[in-house]
Structure 1
């Protein structure tokens, strides 16, 4: 672990920094997957809202 000495003999412990890299843009396959997951999430939320409204109307 990398330690540094400060005034008065105190030690500071610093975390190791990760390697920096440049992000790559998503491929067409990844874009299709993102669209599919977004559509599935919208359907799930819409379904939950419909169920919540249908259950909350108690007569």
Structure 2
């Protein structure tokens, strides 16, 4: 039906094409690539705490 065709087209565009399409405003990356880069950059910028935790003193 026409409704099924519209739904299938929407699912293709919104679910497959748009997340993979490169975009100029994202530095010619796809939204998926841009998001992965953001998370990687954020993880690299976070300080790493290598000190072991001290046990809590109980009295």
TM over 0.5: no
TM, length-normalised to structure 2: 0.36
Which of structures 1 and 2 has the bigger CA Rg?
1
The structure that is helix-richer by fraction is 2
TM, length-normalised to structure 1: 0.36
The structure that is strand-richer by fraction is 1
